[in-house]
Amino acid sequence: MKTNQSKRQNLIPTLVERGFAIHQQLAVLNDEFKKIKERLKEEAVARPADHVPLLENDSNGKQWIAVGEGCECHIVFPEDKLNSEIDPLASDFLAIRSLAGAHFTSLFRKVTLYRHANRKTFRTQARRLLSPKAAAELIEFTSTPTEPKAVWKARATQKE
């Protein structure tokens, strides 16, 4: 009599094989989808007169809308992303300050930031310098959880 554990074990190769087959199909479809998107983007760039404002109230930028049978594709041209930091030692800081004039403090605020001294060695260093509990808490406070991911790879067939 097979147990639930052995039934689940027998299912694993089937899941891996089906997952790999889907992965290969998706790779082909994603490649085709990427090419279609690039062609539509090229077309949108070539037609600036057809760009219209984004419909969302809080969104800045323009869009080009291509229509198909029962569907449409919006090529969105968002406004340039604002830099998250303005370095007062950067060569263009004086120009920024001059352009903002008397409104500089209304448009910008000074903040103090701390970054990991070395992102690659931070965990190792924290574990070496701190108690295990303090290191674990510090790492938790200064990182963002990530989701696990599945990575599919072809295996060389074994010769019999």
pTM: 0.61
Question: What percent of the chain shows pLDDT beyond 90?
Answer: 62
Q: List, in order, residues 6 or more apart from 107 with CB less than 8 Å away.
A: 100
Percent helix / strand / coil, the chain, rounded to 5? 50, 10, 40
Tens-digit pLDDT profile for residues 38-82: 999 999 999 999 999 987 666 788 999 999 988 999 999 988 888
- Give the residue from 74, 44, 40 showing the smallest Cα distance to 59: 74
Residue 1's pLDDT is: 55
Res. 159: pLDDT tops 70: no
Confirm if 126 and 135 have CB atoms less than 8 A apart.
yes
Strand 61-68, strand 52-53: pairing: antiparallel
Contact 155, 147 (CB under 8 A): no
